[in-house]
Chains A and B, each alone.
Chain A
Amino acid sequence: MTLPWILLFLPLLTAAVNFLVLKKSPIAAWLSTASALATAVIAFLLLGKTDQASFEWATVGDFSIKLGYHLDPLATGMMIVVTVVGLLVHVFSLAYMKEDEANARYFTGLSLFMFSMTGIVLADNFLMTFIFWELVGLSSYLLIGHWYHKNSAADAAKKAFLCNRVGDFGFMIGILLLWGITGTMKFSDMGVPVGVSEFTLSAAVLCIFCGAIGKSAQVPLHVWLPDAMEGPTPVSALIHAATMVAAGVYMLFRLQLSLGADLFIGLGASDVIAWVGGFTALLAALMATQQNDIKRVLAYSTLSQLGYMVMAVGLVSGEAGMFHLFTHAWFKALLFLGSGAVIYACHHEQDIWKMGGLMRKMPITGITFFIGFLALIAVPGTSGFFSKEQILEAAHAKQPVLFWVAVAVAVLTPFYMTRLVIVAFFGKARDEGASHAHEVGPLMWLPLAILSVLGLIAGYPFFAEKFAPAYKRPEHLIHFGMVTYISVGAVISGVIAAILVYRGKDRDPISIPLLQQRFYIDQLYDNVLVRYLQNAGAAIIAFIDELFINGLLVGGIGRAAASAGNAMRKIQSGSLQGYAFAFGLGVLMVIYFTVFL
Chain B
Amino acid sequence: MASLNDYLLVSGLLFAIGLAGVVLRRSIIVMFMCLELMLSAANLSLVAFSRFHPAANGLPDMHGQMLVFFVITVAAAEVAVGLAIIVALYRARQTIHTDELTTLQG
Question: Is A577 in contact with B23, judged by CB distance below 8 angstroms?
Answer: yes
B105 interfacial contact with A, CB 8 Å:
yes
**B69 shortest CB reach to chain A, Å:** 25
A574 touches B23 (CB 8 A): no
> Distance in Å from the Cβ of B106 to the closest Cβ of chain A?
3
Query: For this complex, into which size category does the number of interface residues on chain B fall?
Result: 10 to 19
Select one of B19, B22, B31, B99 contacting A575, CB under 8 A. Answer: B99
Q: Does B103 contact A (CB under 8 A)?
A: yes
Residues of A within 8 A of B106 (CB): 568-574
List B contacts of A574 (CB < 8 A): 101-106
Pick the contact of B22: A569, A570, A572, A580 (CB < 8 A).
Answer: A580
Cα(A581)–Cα(B101), bound, Å = 17
Name the one of A570, A571, A572, A575 contacting B98, with C-beta atoms under 8 angstroms.
Answer: A575
Main secondary structure of the interface of A (DSSP, over half): helix
Q: Does A1 count as interface, using CB distance less than 8 angstroms?
A: no
Whether, in the assembled complex, B26 has its beta carbon less than 8 Å from a beta carbon of chain A, the answer is yes
**CB of B76, distance to nearest CB on chain A (Å):** 23
On whether the beta carbons of B23 and A584 are closer than 8 Å, the reply is yes
Q: Are B98 and A577 neighbours in the complex by a CB distance under 8 Å?
A: yes
**B24 an interface residue at 8 Å Cβ cutoff?**
yes
Contact with A along B65-106 (1 / 0, CB 8 A): 000000000000000000000000000000000110111111
User: Is residue A576 within 8 Å, beta carbon to beta carbon, of the partner chain?
Assistant: yes
Residues of B within 8 Å of A568, CB to CB, are: 106
The answer on a CB contact under 8 Å between A576 and B98 is: yes
* Separation of A573 and B26 alpha carbons in the complex (Å): 15
Instruction: Find the A residue at minimum CB distance from B102.
Output: A574
Q: Which of chain A's residues has its CB closest to B16's CB?
A: A584
A573 to B105, CA, bound (A): 5
Binary contact track B18-46/A, C-beta < 8 Å → 1, others 0: 01001110101001000000000000000
**Do residues A577 and B24 form an inter-chain contact, with CB atoms below 8 A?**
yes
- The complex places the Cα of A573 from the Cα of B99 at a distance, in Å, of 10
Q: Once bound together, how far apart are the Cα atoms of A237 and B71, in whole Å?
A: 89
CA distance A568 to B23 in the complex (A): 21
Contacts of B98 in A (CB 8 A): 575-577
Interface residues of A toward B: which range? 10 to 19
Chain B's closest residue to A576 (CB) is B98
Q: Once bound together, how far apart are the Cα atoms of A121 and B105, in whole Å?
A: 73
Give the contacts of A206-262 with B (CB-CB under 8 A): none
User: Which of A569, A574, A584 has the most CB atoms of chain B within a 10 A radius of its CB?
Assistant: A574
Contact B105 A572 (CB under 8 A): yes
List the A side residues contacting B104 at CB < 8 Å: 572, 574
A424 CA / B106 CA spacing, docked (Å): 83
Contact flags (1/0) for A557-593 with B, using CB distance below 8 Å? 0000000000011111111110011001000000000
Residues of A within 8 A of B24 (CB): 577
- Least CB distance from B44 to A in Å reads 18
User: Complex Cα distance A575/B26, Å?
Assistant: 10
Residues of A25-70 whose CB lies within 8 A of B: none
Tell me how far the C-beta of B105 lies from the nearest C-beta in chain A, rounded to whole angstroms: 3
B-chain residues with CB within 8 Å of residue A580 when the two chains form the complex: 19, 22-23, 31
Contact check, A575 vs B102: say whether CB atoms are below 8 A apart.
Answer: yes
Q: Please name the residue on chain B nearest to A581 by beta carbon.
A: B23
Q: Whole-angstrom distance from the CB of B19 to the nearest CB of chain A?
A: 5
A572–B23 alpha-carbon span in the complex (Å): 16
Bound Cα distance A577, B28 (Å): 10
Q: Is the CB of B105 within 8 A of A576?
A: no
- Give bound CA distance, A584 to B35, whole Å: 13
Whole-angstrom distance between the Cβ of A359 and the nearest chain B Cβ: 89
What are the residues of chain B within 8 A of A584 when measuring CB–CB? 19, 22-23
CB neighbours of B101 from chain A (8 A): 574, 576
Shortest CB-to-CB span from A293 to chain B, Å, is 72
Measured CB to CB, the nearest residue on chain A to B104 is: A574
What are the residues of chain A within 8 A of B105 when measuring CB–CB? Answer: 572-575
Taking CB atoms, residues of chain A closer than 8 Å to B26 are 577
Can you name the residue of chain A whose Cβ is closest to the Cβ of B98?
A576
* Nearest CB in chain B to that of A578: its residue: B23
For A581, the chain B residues whose CB sits under 8 A away are 23
A584 CA to B21 CA, complexed, in Å:
12
A574 to B105, CA, bound (A): 4
Q: Which residues of A (472-518) have their CB < 8 Å from a CB of B?
A: none
Cα–Cα, bound, A33→B28 (Å):
85
Whole-angstrom distance between the Cβ of A587 and the nearest chain B Cβ: 8
Q: What's the Cα separation between A570 and B106 when bound, in Å?
A: 7
Give the distance in Å from the alpha carbon of A580 to the alpha carbon of B24 in the complex.
9
A569 vs B104: C-alpha distance in the bound complex, in angstroms?
10
Chain A residues whose CB sits within 8 angstroms of the CB of B102 once the complex forms: 573-575
- Could you say which residues of chain B place their CB within 8 Å of the CB of A573? 102, 105-106
Q: Which residues of B contact A571 (CB under 8 A)?
A: 106
CB distance from B82 to the nearest CB of A (A): 13
Q: How far is the CB of A498 from chain B (nearest CB, A)?
A: 88
The residues of A that contact B28 with a CB separation of less than 8 Å are 576
User: In the complex, which residue of chain A has the Cβ closest to the Cβ of B19?
Assistant: A584
Per the bound structure, the CA–CA distance linking A568 and B106 in Å amounts to: 8
User: Distance (Å) between the CB of B46 and the closest chain A CB?
Assistant: 18
> Which among A571, A572, A577 has the greatest number of chain B C-beta atoms within 10 A?
A577
Whole-angstrom CA separation of A572 from B98 in the bound complex? 14
20 contacting pairs across A/B (C-beta < 8 A): A569-B106, A570-B106, A571-B106, A572-B104, A572-B105, A572-B106, A573-B106, A574-B103, A574-B105, A574-B106, A576-B28, A576-B31, A577-B22, A577-B23, A577-B26, A580-B19, A580-B23, A580-B31, A584-B19, A584-B22
List B residues at the A interface (Cβ < 8 Å): 19, 22-24, 26, 28, 31, 98-99, 101-106
Top 6 nearest A-B pairs by Cβ distance? A574-B105, A572-B106, A569-B106, A574-B102, A576-B98, A574-B104
Residues of A bordering B, CB below 8 Å: 568-577, 580-581, 584
With A573-B105, A584-B19 known, 10 other A-B pairs at CB within 8 A are A568-B106, A574-B102, A574-B105, A575-B99, A576-B31, A576-B101, A577-B23, A577-B98, A580-B23, A580-B31
